[in-house]
Structure 1
Amino acid sequence: MCGIVGGIAERNITEILIEGLKRLEYRGYDSAGVAVINQGQLLRERQVGKVINLADAVAAHHLQGNLGIAHTRWATHGKPSEQNAHPHASGNVAVVHNGIIENYQELKQELQQLGYVFSSQTDTEVVAHLVNHALKQTPDLLQAVQSIVPRLKGAYALGIVWTEQPDELIAVREGSPLVIGVGIGENFISSDQLALLPVTNRFIYLEEGDIVRLKRNSIEIFVNGQAIDRPVKELDAAVTNSSKGEYKHFMLKEIFEQPDAVQQTIAQALDADTLKPDFLAKANQTFAAIQQIQIIACGTSYHAGMVAKYWCEQIIGLPCHVEIASEYRYRHPVIVANTLFLCISQSGETADSLAALRDIQRRAKQKHIPIHTMAICNVSTSSMIRETDFHLLTLAGPEIGVASTKAFTTQLAALMLLVLKIGEIKQTLAESLKQDIIKALWHCPKVLNETLKNDTEILRLSSLFVEKQHCLFLGRGTHFPIALEGALKLKEISYIHAEGYAAGELKHGPLALVDNDMPVVILAPKDEMLDKLKSNMEEVQTRGGELFVFADEHSDIHAQDRKHVVHIPQVSEWLAPIIYCVPVQLLSYHVAVLRGTDVDQPRNLAKSVTVE
């Protein structure tokens, strides 16, 4: 949940490291630091707060070097402070680290008994001391790192330098993403390829257990001490645009990019009024055999999976279960043969989802149970894509804002495409319904554009939320997950406590919270549940609640005292969740801006959750 940049070059590398950290700011962090080696000296600078603070300090102290590592930290062990910021050092060894060393207390006690003094509260410092201690037995940094890695328990990515070997950088990947940027006479590491795009578009994506020795003109990768090769992949320039352009925040830009993102995602699968013959063709035999789907995801992706459950069961009659990955991985679920395990993740590096995937693959193999795995993901080079049998990309482009927007709508579009594909292969999808949904999918980008025209009206309503401390979001059917997503967005970026509920649950508890000071957001598409939803709205109004209703233009719902209505263009009931998430995104965005919060980098959160 933090960022690593490192490299070795003939030129001064400091500015490259700082620029890399700036490009990782979207991931969330509370401190930043850099260490370089210059003429046999380890030079280090660390600062609490934004990368600009570090950049100013580096410039003031003229920090320069040809070999260096840098880091943005999101606090897990120890509060945000200069002492806890990375890189951590032991003697002439410096280390940056993403992830968590789960057995660090045990290692720390051992190292203290050996005389090592700890200056931080972090788990990372044990790595620096362990490497330093190992170098007393071997004069080679690679061998020292290889000797201590088996002692580390947990998930981690490491970058390590030592003044006695100023011509090499050692990197380790175990459960936390790390890539190598391949240059000419220079090479780099980073936790995210976006950090290195100013210097290269050629990357090697490390696998679990890889230990790397980088020099200016060579890259050596080892697994269990044996040298191996990993392919170099060139990143498409189309995915490199991470500028805000004319927009004030990345989140707003990404909200308005949704029509194009959804268009790109559906176009990979649809040809006029049919699915392309080559769309997921390699999975045809698998889809014919599966008996159920198990969706595993976290956060926003979990909400997308909840919508897909309705679609799978109502449209193609296929049982579908959805579970939060952090719960699923620890409850030792029964593995059912011929299940498609579907992981959904924006980054494809979500720690809990990956761990759940790997656990179910391991257990199924041990018990000889036939299962299949699939990923829906926005990053074609991610671990999740590489480790599943099949994948479907959401072509959203880079999503920088921590609060996911276009990744969510493209996940929904991709999930509907998957439902159509499985229904076609299993012959459980009526041809007329298939045609209706395909037609509606093509129409979806236009409806998204029309919905975005409500931005000014939603901004006006947002001013009524600024002083609120609590909010309810209500929906029924496929819009219950959208209510959960709306509440999540409001919590994430405005810091207003919000809860999403199935509207039919009002009488079972939430109605007790409704009073004159409680805004209640209602999602009201025109579907078979509309009349019941109108009754729920009456219940709220009777208790004095103030209603904010996003309603279908033909729903016959109109504004009145303490009932504010924004009309949404008519859309197929099957695809309404894709449309109705947009107004709640805009509402959350404008409330956050009016409250003065950091929209793109909300406190305590990170974009890619790569630790538990």
Structure 2
Amino acid sequence: MCGIVGVVGKQQTKEILIQGLEKLEYRGYDSAGIFVTSPEGENYLVKSVGRIDNLKKKLTKEVSGTIGIGHTRWATHGKPTEENAHPHTSRDGRFMLVHNGVIENFEELKAMYLEDVPLKGETDTEVLVQIISVFVAKHGLDTLEAFRKIVRETKGSYALALIDTNERETIYVAKNKSPLLVGVGDDFNVICSDAMAMISQTNQFVELMDGEIVLVSKDKIIIEDQAQQRIERDSFTVEMSENDLGKGTYPYYMLKEIDEQPAVMRNLIQQYSDAQSRLTVEEDILKAVTECDRIYIVACGTSWHAGWIGKKLLEKYVNIPTEVHLSSEFGYNMPLLAKKPFFIFLSQSGETADSRQVLVKLNEMKLPSLVITNAKGSTLSREATYTMLLHAGPEIAVASTKAYTAQIAVLAILAKVCGETQAATKVQAQTFDLVHELGLVATAMESLIDEKDQVEKLAEDYLKETRNAFYIGRGQDYYVSMEAALKLKEISYIQAEGFAAGELKHGTIALIEEGTPVISMITDTATHAHTRGNIKEVESRGAHTCVMAMEGFERPQDQLILPKVHEDLTPLISVIPAQLLAYFATLQRGYDVDKPRNLAKSVTVE
């Protein structure tokens, strides 16, 4: 949510800021703005509501300079208006500020320092920039002292970037809980919420820690801790290219990312295999997992759904009880923990605020944790005990596709390799050749992706006009049904739910009306006949049923046949047509597939 970019020392500042903001569109936003200033003292502040294209239309040739900041805003305090859009300006026009996050004590700060200062908008961010101005004008502090003071007094999550127009050579930066990086260039430097925003300028980035004050100029980066002690920190290399971030010939990122899933499966085999094609996991991770007495998977949204698949894999192959919890609930309603718990965090971005607040508490309790993420060097990755990477490449579309299947595959790899070290599950784990089976999954994915025309027709038949839709299944099919419904609701705005098929008669069947679409998944040996009975139940109430069944369980009237794969890996393929159904239903309704309303790719505030 929200995105920050900044540049100091480049002639093309305006263009770099706009390009950076466009790379951050995936985070979700409802307004955008930039501030650019030149060495000659010309200042340009341009803001707009809506898409970045609206902002670009307002930029004139005169807007130029060598230092600037930009922002995409997700409305929290105040409606999405130009007055509430960032950057925010102090009353005297001297200071410009952008901010990600939520300031919890802004009302108290406002009452303490701004009693006689009128505000233009309704945001917590404007309060901060006005207070900085007060600190300088009335309290006699210089800009750095004023910035330090406001950071000390601010409570909440934030990433801040400040420009003093009397200096025009420095961007003042600080963060707490919200991600922010400094990019290192040749006689220039940049700041950004995500490395992908500035990967066209540099692949060298410096990570920032909570509570630090950072001064970024064109030829140096000064980092100081809360005691004002200088800190030296090396940069790290981000292995990403401009080509990774482009759509290529695809009309939407989501379709590109759906199509990339077979390649992701094959890449994971390579990344987690040794020279003898045996799957490997770091010894420290194996030891930590196999020595615990209970595993807790903590995640949100799509990652939470992947966690349920992981629970079955871990319990089956590692023989350790596993629980799955929502991050937003776990941190504030922590259950009674086992004596030797181990925590697995699932997060595509590695910046999920709900998950981080849990991790902070676990670190205080000195409990071990593993984060499975797509983002090397992300906050969760840095702060967890261990990390396993998804190696899925950048995922730009808000609706997650390849990260979901990558999470399941990595959990399968972890479960398989851990199981081989456990006496209780060693024989079972060794008889399951996961490298071979994931290769078959990749091929099955490709065959389903090639059925786009058929899935598009199903979407038109079942979903184009409906207000509601339901997915049903049992076991792992139920877990995938939850994810399938989430995909459909978040981008097509159809009220969709995923239900355990056996629970229909316990209340849910009351929602079935004449013509209600009910999409059924059937891949499970033990329960496929039971699910067929549930399909008959909803059909007798007038449901418009669509059946996706795996080879071996199919019947002539079924709408889609899924290629046969190992029973533990069926979620990796049954989700593919569900992703495509959501994609085509959204197109048919005329909505933006990649940028659904009210949603953000990276949720960086609780």
Cα offset for 1:282?
Answer: 2.6
Q: Provide the residue aligned with 2:409 in structure 1.
A: 413
Taking the aligned partners of 1:443 and 1:413, their CA distance within structure 2 comes to 13
Cα offset for 1:74?
Answer: 1.1
Cα offset for 1:138?
Answer: 4.2
1:197 pairs with 196, 199, 209, which one? 199
Can you give the 5+ residue segments of structure 2 that lack an aligned partner in the other structure?
none
1:441 pairs with 434, 438, 441, which one? 438
Q: Provide the residue aligned with 2:145 in structure 1.
A: 143
Aligned residues: 599
Kindly provide the CA deviation profile for residues 214-268 of structure 1, in whole angstroms up to 9, marking residues without a partner as x: 1110100111121112221122245861111111100000000000011112322
The question of whether the paired residues in 1 share the 8 Å contact of 2:33 and 2:71 is answered with yes
Partner letter of residue 487 of structure 1? Answer: A
Comparing 211-220 with 268-277, greater Cα deviation is found at: 268-277
Task: Indicate yes or no: 2:551 matched with 1:553.
Answer: yes
Q: Provide the residue aligned with 1:256 in structure 2.
A: 259
Aligned Cα root-mean-square deviation (Å): 1.6
| Residues 301-380 of structure 1 aligned to structure 2 (within 5 Å) | 301-362=303-364, 364-365=365-366, 371-380=367-376
The question of whether the paired residues in 2 share the 8 Å contact of 1:287 and 1:426 is answered with no
Question: Structure 1 residues 445, 556: CA separation in 2 closer, same or farther (over 3 Å shift)?
Answer: closer
The question of whether the paired residues in 1 share the 8 Å contact of 2:265 and 2:439 is answered with no
Q: Provide the residue aligned with 2:564 in structure 1.
A: 570
The question of whether the paired residues in 1 share the 8 Å contact of 2:97 and 2:162 is answered with yes
Question: Structure 1 residues 447, 280: CA separation in 2 closer, same or farther (over 3 Å shift)?
Answer: same
Taking the aligned partners of 1:343 and 1:453, their CA distance within structure 2 comes to 33
Kindly provide the CA deviation profile for residues 481-521 of structure 1, in whole angstroms up to 9, marking residues without a partner as x: 11010110001100011011111110111100112221001
Q: Secondary structure at the match of 1:204?
A: strand
Comparing 483-492 with 324-333, greater Cα deviation is found at: 324-333
Task: Indicate yes or no: 2:510 matched with 1:509.
Answer: no
Question: Structure 1 residues 239, 394: CA separation in 2 closer, same or farther (over 3 Å shift)?
Answer: farther
The question of whether the paired residues in 2 share the 8 Å contact of 1:95 and 1:161 is answered with yes
Can you give the 5+ residue segments of structure 1 that lack an aligned partner in the other structure?
366-370
The question of whether the paired residues in 1 share the 8 Å contact of 2:273 and 2:279 is answered with yes
Cα offset for 1:203?
Answer: 0.7
Q: Provide the residue aligned with 2:56 in structure 1.
A: 55
Cα offset for 1:122?
Answer: 1.0
Task: Indicate yes or no: 2:96 matched with 1:102.
Answer: no
Cα offset for 1:432?
Answer: 4.5
Q: Provide the residue aligned with 1:161 in structure 2.
A: 163
The question of whether the paired residues in 1 share the 8 Å contact of 2:199 and 2:240 is answered with no
Q: TM-score, normalising length from structure 1?
A: 0.95
The question of whether the paired residues in 2 share the 8 Å contact of 1:287 and 1:425 is answered with no
Cα offset for 1:433?
Answer: 4.3
Cα offset for 1:440?
Answer: 1.4
1:233 pairs with 221, 231, 236, which one? 236
Q: Provide the residue aligned with 1:17 in structure 2.
A: 17
Question: Structure 1 residues 276, 310: CA separation in 2 closer, same or farther (over 3 Å shift)?
Answer: closer
Taking the aligned partners of 1:320 and 1:133, their CA distance within structure 2 comes to 53
Q: Secondary structure at the match of 2:37?
A: strand
Q: Secondary structure at the match of 2:60?
A: helix
Q: Provide the residue aligned with 2:301 in structure 1.
A: 299
Kindly provide the CA deviation profile for residues 406-465 of structure 1, in whole angstroms up to 9, marking residues without a partner as x: 000000000001111221223332435433241312321111111212211110011121
Question: Structure 1 residues 273, 457: CA separation in 2 closer, same or farther (over 3 Å shift)?
Answer: farther
The question of whether the paired residues in 2 share the 8 Å contact of 1:41 and 1:163 is answered with no
Task: Indicate yes or no: 2:519 matched with 1:521.
Answer: yes
Question: Structure 1 residues 86, 347: CA separation in 2 closer, same or farther (over 3 Å shift)?
Answer: same
Taking the aligned partners of 2:42 and 2:345, their CA distance within structure 1 comes to 46
Partner letter of residue 446 of structure 1? Answer: T
Q: Provide the residue aligned with 2:593 in structure 1.
A: 599
Taking the aligned partners of 2:573 and 2:431, their CA distance within structure 1 comes to 19
Q: Secondary structure at the match of 1:270?
A: coil
Q: Provide the residue aligned with 2:400 in structure 1.
A: 404
| Residues 382-401 of structure 1 aligned to structure 2 (within 5 Å) | 382-401=378-397
Task: Indicate yes or no: 2:452 matched with 1:455.
Answer: yes
Q: Secondary structure at the match of 2:554?
A: coil
Q: Secondary structure at the match of 2:45?
A: strand
Q: Secondary structure at the match of 1:5?
A: strand
Task: Indicate yes or no: 2:471 matched with 1:473.
Answer: yes
Partner letter of residue 96 of structure 1? Answer: V
Cα offset for 1:557?
Answer: 2.2
Partner letter of residue 408 of structure 2? Answer: L
Partner letter of residue 306 of structure 1? Answer: W
Taking the aligned partners of 1:399 and 1:388, their CA distance within structure 2 comes to 22
Kindly provide the CA deviation profile for residues 184-238 of structure 1, in whole angstroms up to 9, marking residues without a partner as x: 1111100011111121111111122222101110100111121112221122245
Q: Provide the residue aligned with 2:213 in structure 1.
A: 211
Taking the aligned partners of 2:82 and 2:65, their CA distance within structure 1 comes to 22
Taking the aligned partners of 2:240 and 2:101, their CA distance within structure 1 comes to 29
The question of whether the paired residues in 2 share the 8 Å contact of 1:557 and 1:565 is answered with no
Q: Secondary structure at the match of 2:421?
A: helix
Q: Provide the residue aligned with 1:500 in structure 2.
A: 498
Q: Provide the residue aligned with 2:123 in structure 1.
A: 122
Q: Secondary structure at the match of 2:490?
A: helix
Taking the aligned partners of 2:376 and 2:30, their CA distance within structure 1 comes to 29
The question of whether the paired residues in 1 share the 8 Å contact of 2:33 and 2:45 is answered with yes
Cα offset for 1:576?
Answer: 0.1
Taking the aligned partners of 2:588 and 2:551, their CA distance within structure 1 comes to 28
Partner letter of residue 47 of structure 1? Answer: S
Taking the aligned partners of 2:255 and 2:24, their CA distance within structure 1 comes to 19
Q: Provide the residue aligned with 2:583 in structure 1.
A: 589
Taking the aligned partners of 2:241 and 2:529, their CA distance within structure 1 comes to 46
Cα offset for 1:10?
Answer: 4.6
Q: Secondary structure at the match of 1:212?
A: strand
Taking the aligned partners of 1:589 and 1:434, their CA distance within structure 2 comes to 38
Partner letter of residue 396 of structure 1? Answer: A
Partner letter of residue 24 of structure 2? Answer: L
The question of whether the paired residues in 2 share the 8 Å contact of 1:524 and 1:551 is answered with yes
Question: Structure 1 residues 291, 42: CA separation in 2 closer, same or farther (over 3 Å shift)?
Answer: same
Q: Provide the residue aligned with 1:290 in structure 2.
A: 292
Q: Secondary structure at the match of 1:349?
A: coil
Partner letter of residue 471 of structure 2? Answer: F
Taking the aligned partners of 1:403 and 1:252, their CA distance within structure 2 comes to 10
Q: Provide the residue aligned with 1:368 in structure 2.
A: none
Taking the aligned partners of 1:23 and 1:266, their CA distance within structure 2 comes to 29
Question: Structure 1 residues 573, 273: CA separation in 2 closer, same or farther (over 3 Å shift)?
Answer: farther
Kindly provide the CA deviation profile for residues 106-165 of structure 1, in whole angstroms up to 9, marking residues without a partner as x: 22223331x111111111111101211122334532221111112111111011001112
Taking the aligned partners of 2:497 and 2:133, their CA distance within structure 1 comes to 49
Taking the aligned partners of 1:230 and 1:333, their CA distance within structure 2 comes to 38
Q: Provide the residue aligned with 2:33 in structure 1.
A: 33
Cα offset for 1:575?
Answer: 0.2
Task: Indicate yes or no: 2:271 matched with 1:268.
Answer: yes
Taking the aligned partners of 1:595 and 1:378, their CA distance within structure 2 comes to 31
Kindly provide the CA deviation profile for residues 343-380 of structure 1, in whole angstroms up to 9, marking residues without a partner as x: 00000000000111111221x24xxxxx3110000011
Partner letter of residue 202 of structure 1? Answer: Q
